[in-house]
Amino acid sequence: MDEVRMLGKLWCILSFAIILSSAGNFYDCGSKVGNYSSVTITNCGTAPICILKRNSNVTIQFDFTPFENTNTVSAVVHGIKMGIPVPFHFPDEAACNRTLKCPLFKGKTYSYQATFPIKKKYPAIRLDVKWELKNDDQRDIACILIPAKIM
């Protein structure tokens, strides 16, 4: 019986370590009615800052779990420089139209994915990208802050 408990504790520790290592340098910026895990961004790797190359497409993927039911999910993205958020509009703001099948139910884990262009006209700049998934009441199910540099 002690071996079973020890294996259970070891499993918990390893799972936690895997979650931390896969989190990269992404930060929760105010998830209120849910949480996220397993963030992956193309060409981002484990570097402290994600390099976003102009004239290319970048894909973000993460799993999230809402804490309450919702009929709609909207993706809201901002670039933040010197504390000033600048909206970034992309074609997939209504997440239920492409990636997700709504309604979403509390406690169930969903996978979100979106691809967005890094246009050639964007300036080479260091910024934070704030990616939010909002519920019916415009409250954050998931809010991820991504240190990035456009090159």
- Predicted local distance difference test score (pLDDT) of residue 92: 73
Ranges of H-type helices in the chain: 2-22
How does DSSP classify residue 21?
H
| β-sheet bridge partners, residue 116 | 58
Q: What is the pLDDT of residue 100?
A: 94
Q: What is the pLDDT of residue 4?
A: 37
Q: Three-state DSSP class for 46?
A: coil
Nearest CA to 38 out of 111, 115, 100, 108 is that of: 111
Q: How high is the mean pLDDT in each 10-residue block of the chain (151 residues)?
A: 39 32 72 94 83 93 97 95 89 85 97 92 94 96 96 92
| CA separation, residue 61 to residues 10, 45, 96, 99 (Å) | 28, 13, 15, 10
Please tell me whether the peptide bond between 103 and the residue prior to it is cis, using omega within 30 degrees of 0: yes
